[in-house]
């Protein structure tokens, strides 16, 4: 099973309505730069994660460019097990930034 893709503007609209944004990149990548409000759930920890808490909510996954989420779409979908509607941000963080949407950067 694959997950539908949505563009950054669509993702932001869903977030404003209560959707949950999950960054599947590793913690170091997430710490360096992230979409404001994104929760970090790295692929390396996905098997241990309990996504049941998100049941009934829309979930949006993203990575840096969208490639990692596309490659792992079936794995992400199976982890949710149909408990909620889920999407992938097309183009990931790069597209989000390019659309002029807010990101946070690591502070030195």
Query: Which among 3, 60, 63, 76 is annotated as catalytic?
Result: 63
Q: What is the DSSP string of the chain?
A: ----EE-HHHHHHHHHTT-EEEE-S-HHHHHHEEETTPEE--GGGGGG--GGGGTTS-EEEE-SSSHHHHHTHHHHHHHHTTSS-EEEETTHHHHHHHTT--EEE---
**The pLDDT of residue 1 is above 60:** no
Which residue range forms the structural domain that includes residue 74? Answer: 5-105
Q: Identify the CATH number of the domain in which residue 72 sits.
A: 3.40.250.10
pLDDT higher than 90, residue 108: no
Give per-residue pLDDT as tens, 7-19.
999 999 999 999 9
Q: Which of these ranges, 10-19, 20-29, 33-42, 50-59, has the smallest mean pLDDT?
A: 50-59
Percent of the chain with pLDDT over 70: 94
Number of domains in the chain: 1
Q: Is the pTM of this model over 0.85?
A: yes
The answer to whether 63 is a known catalytic residue is yes
């Amino acid at each position: 099973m694959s997950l539908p893709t949505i563009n950054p503007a669509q993702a932001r609209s869903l977030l404003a309505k209560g959707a949950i944004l999950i960054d599947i990149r590793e913690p170091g990548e997430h710490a360096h730069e992230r979409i404001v409000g994104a929760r970090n759930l790295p692929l390396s920890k996905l098997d241990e994660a309990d996504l049941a808490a998100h049941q009934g909510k829309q979930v949006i996954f993203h990575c840096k460019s969208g490639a990692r989420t596309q490659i792992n779409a079936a794995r992400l979908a199976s982890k949710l097990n149909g408990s909620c509607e889920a999407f992938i941000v097309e183009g990931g963080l790069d597209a989000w930034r390019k659309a002029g949407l807010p990101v946070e950067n690591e502070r030195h």
